[in-house]
């Protein structure tokens, strides 16, 4: 396996974004990168998604349009509305 230091992995995660992209650069699997992150105690960049999603929903409920939210949060418009629609559905309830 490639030798990647903790500081280098943090830098790569900021620039390349995904474990798969980092793994491709070093010719190793994304799972190997994931294991290195766990070994070094580095959170995935997706760890902040619940806070981001809550902020998206909050802005939408205050009247901000999906397009404006998408630009502000660095998301696509479709991803923004997917977050809003998922948050609007009640867990455990089904329409019949």
Q: Each residue of 57-69: pLDDT tens digit?
A: 999 999 999 999 9
Could you tell me the two tokens for 13? Answer: 């995660």
**pLDDT tens by residue, 17-60:** 788 899 999 898 989 999 988 998 988 777 778 888 999 999 99
Q: Are residues 57 and 71 in the same domain?
A: yes
Number of domains within the chain: 2
Residue 26 placed within a domain: yes
Instruction: Mention every residue, 6+ apart, whose C-beta is less than 8 A from residue 37.
Output: 9, 13, 19, 43, 44
Residue 68 placed within a domain: yes
Residue 93 placed within a domain: no
Residue 24 placed within a domain: yes
Q: Are residues 36 and 52 in the same domain?
A: no
Q: Are residues 33 and 60 in the same domain?
A: no
pTM listed for this prediction: 0.57
Long-range contacts of 37-40 (CB under 8 A, 24+ apart): 37/9, 37/13, 40/6, 40/9
Q: Are residues 33 and 53 in the same domain?
A: no
For 57, the domain range is 48-88
**Size of the chain, expressed as the number of residues it contains:** 96
Q: Are residues 22 and 35 in the same domain?
A: yes
Q: Are residues 35 and 65 in the same domain?
A: no
Residue 1 placed within a domain: no
Mean pLDDT score across all residues of the chain: 85
């Amino acid at each position: 396996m490639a030798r990647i230091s903790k500081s280098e992995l943090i830098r790569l995660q900021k620039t390349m974004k995904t474990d798969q992209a980092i793994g491709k650069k070093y010719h190793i699997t994304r799972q190997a990168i994931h294991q290195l992150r766990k070994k070094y105690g580095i959170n995935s960049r997706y760890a902040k998604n619940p806070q981001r999603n809550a902020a998206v929903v909050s802005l939408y409920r205050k009247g901000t349009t999906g397009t404006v939210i998408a630009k502000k949060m660095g998301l696509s418009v479709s991803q923004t509305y997917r977050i809003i629609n998922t948050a609007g559905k009640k867990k455990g309830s089904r329409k019949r």
